[in-house]
Amino acid sequence: MKTSRLVIFVLFILFGIFLLRQEETFQDKFAIISLPIKEYYLEITNSIKDSTDKYLKQAESIKELKKENILLRKYLYQQKINIVKLNQLTQFNEKKFNNYNNILRVQTISYKKLNDFSQVYLTKSNELGKDKIYGLIQKNVAAGIAIKENGTLKGILLSNPICQFSTFIGKDKTPGIAKGIDAENLEVNFIPKWSTVKVGDKVLTSGMDNIFLPNIPVGEVTNIITKSTYKTAIVKTYADVLHPNFFYLVKEVLQQQSDTNSSQIEQDNNSTKEKK
């Protein structure tokens, strides 16, 4: 009897060691497998909350205010896109812009790993294509990037080193590449060594990488480090990445350059024919 108990105890320890070694792989697989359940649970939770608001907290007014708030925020981001497009126009007209369809309000489903608060799974992956990086905006400030992989939409927040995008620093709009450090800071690398960036300068998205809209606040410079060939700025970020509840995602920032070129070529050809 004692021998059988000892064998069971030893097997239990070996099984525990095996699980610990496979923890990271297990977490990744478990997280992906459990995504539909978590998303379904999230939908049920949101439904219950909405029902409570409706019947116990004057839901009709609350519902209308929520819709108005979301609509206004989508309108704000869409207007930023329109401004970017208008700045690209020179001497030819462009078709009317899409109305709000370019803005997605996404919600966090769960963390990607139990011990990593810098990566999350997001809703509405079915509304996005593959092979593209999207910017995540939280309360009008940059909060991270999103990537669609294997049918799931993964959010990589500013606290993760994988999160990288282009920025402008200060009034002179000095360029640099932002890279995550931790929940409160990031670094901007490859700043030209001759630039005059200083502590206190505001950091904004440049929009040059087609990830973010331009001029989205990122943070404020707290330290400057001069390296052999360039400068690095340490930036205190504005986003609250430890509470990643909702984000606004821009599906497409700029008009395709090919469309612009083809339109211009067509006008040039028409102009040439008229001269002949």
- The pLDDT assigned to 183 comes to 94
The domain covering 164-237 belongs, at the CATH homologous superfamily level, to Rod shape-determining protein MreC, domain 2 (2.40.10.350)
Give the C-alpha distances (Å, rounded to integers) separating 218 from 137, 168, 178, 251. 10, 10, 9, 19
Pair 177, 188: CB distance under 8 Å: yes
- The pLDDT assigned to 123 comes to 94
- The pLDDT assigned to 269 comes to 45
Residue 244 has a CB neighbour count (10 Å cut-off) of: 23
Q: What is the pTM of this model?
A: 0.67
For the chain, 276 residues long, give each residue's pLDDT as a single digit of tens: 556 666 566 566 666 666 555 556 666 666 676 677 777 778 888 877 777 766 666 666 667 767 777 777 777 777 777 766 666 554 344 444 344 578 899 999 999 988 889 999 999 988 888 778 999 999 899 999 999 988 899 999 999 999 999 999 999 999 999 999 999 999 999 999 999 999 999 999 999 998 998 999 999 999 999 988 999 999 999 999 999 999 999 888 754 433 434 344 344 444 444 443
Check the CA dihedral 109-113-114-117 and report its sign.
negative
The structure tokens listed for 118 are: 């810098």
CA 103, 104, 107: angle at the middle one, nearest 5?
Answer: 150
Pair 116, 92: CB distance under 8 Å: no
Read off the amino acid at residue 57: K
Pair 31, 112: CB distance under 8 Å: yes
Q: Where are the domains of the chain?
A: 2-33, 164-237
Pair 137, 170: CB distance under 8 Å: no
**What are the backbone dihedrals phi and psi of residue 204, each rounded to the nearest 5 degrees, phi first?**
-125, 155
- The pLDDT assigned to 179 comes to 97
